[in-house]
Amino acid sequence: MSAAGGSSAVWRDAVAASTLGSGNLRDVVRLPCGEDKNEWLAVNIMDLMKQVRMLYGVVFGAEGGCNEKTCPVMSARGKEYFWTQGDLLLSTPAPTYIDYALTWCQLQLEDENIFPSHIGKGFPPHYDQVCETIMRRLFRVYAHVYHAHTNVFRSLKAIAHLNTSFKQFILFASQFQLIPREELQPLMPLIEELVGSQLAS
């Protein structure tokens, strides 16, 4: 059964396995005392990017997974995501959009002028904006996976892995207010099940 359409049964199935016993994820994402916030954002966003790549790799490689035939548009719960190219909004198949999004995110993370790897080199003035854009684009991958491909994770008995990854992602985004609440709407029922309704606005 596909997750497309966002039926209540899908949400119950997705949450039924809950998450892995991974301790308190709220503590995991909180900025440690004495740590630089920008460096903390960089380390965590890089880790979340790896998780999203891995999870999407499972879907992309699965039989009947994400391809141009199964997912001719990039969408989640009736909302289509368009890729922005200059002044154009492009409607693309989900795998194309996700490839564009992950490639763009990776290029930002590898750019020494945005995410410096040398101690003492400063972060640029637009650093927060780049972090927010990366997080929004990663969220859209989760949104599409949950709405179109939870069947893949159910078949692999890996819903708990997906939920744990997403829970950490959303707690981190909330902790640092990296994704506007309206952007979260396609997954809000699941978010409220996993982390409650007290998200940072």
Chain-centre distance for alpha carbon 71: 18
Name 83's bridge partners: 90
Q: Which residues contact 39 (CB under 8 A, 6 or more apart)?
A: none
> Radius of gyration over alpha carbons of the chain, in Å?
17
| Cβ atoms of residues 64 and 4 within 8 Å | no
**66 assigned ligand-binding residue:** yes
Terminal-residue alpha carbon distance, the chain? 33
Higher local confidence (pLDDT), 81 or 22: 81
Q: What pLDDT, in 10s, does the model give residues 85-109?
A: 889 999 999 999 999 999 999 999 9
**71 assigned ligand-binding residue:** yes
| Cβ atoms of residues 152 and 65 within 8 Å | yes
Q: What pLDDT, in 10s, does the model give residues 50-70?
A: 999 999 999 988 887 899 999
Quick one: which of 153, 169, 155 has its CA closest to 59?
A: 153
Residue 5, pLDDT above cutoff 80: no
Distance CA 201, CA 199 (A): 6
Mean pLDDT value of segment 143-151: 94
Q: Which residues contact 87 (CB under 8 A, 6 or more apart)?
A: none
What was the pLDDT predicted at 75? 96
Whole-prediction pTM: 0.86
